[in-house]
Amino acid sequence: MIFVYAIKSLAHNYIYVGMTNNLRRRLDEHNCRKNRSTKAYCPFIMIYNKSFPDRISAREYEKYLKSGVGKEFLKRL
């Protein structure tokens, strides 16, 4: 099972969208500054996640959330 997730920075106006097979581990990696693209925006909270049976459908949904319409959806949460 693959998860598409969105995390929000508590310190900045920043939302990151990604995918993983382990949500808890991935959130911990972001908060421990192990991800170069997010380490300047720590700490994070999970604001959204959705599971998918395969990587292909998860990637399609991740692309949607990274689009302008998808970002607006996440901002309204």
Question: Is 77 a residue whose pLDDT tops 90?
Answer: no
pLDDT score of 64: 98
**3-class DSSP assignment, residue 31:** helix
Contact 1, 52 (CB under 8 A): yes
Range of the domain at 9: 2-76
CATH number of the domain to which 59 belongs: 3.40.1440.10
**What would the pLDDT profile of 16-25 be if each residue is shown by its tens digit?**
999 999 999 9
Phi, psi for residue 11 in degrees, rounded to 5: -100, -20
Q: Number of folded domains in the chain? A: 1
pLDDT score of 6: 98
Question: Is 39 a residue whose pLDDT tops 90?
Answer: yes
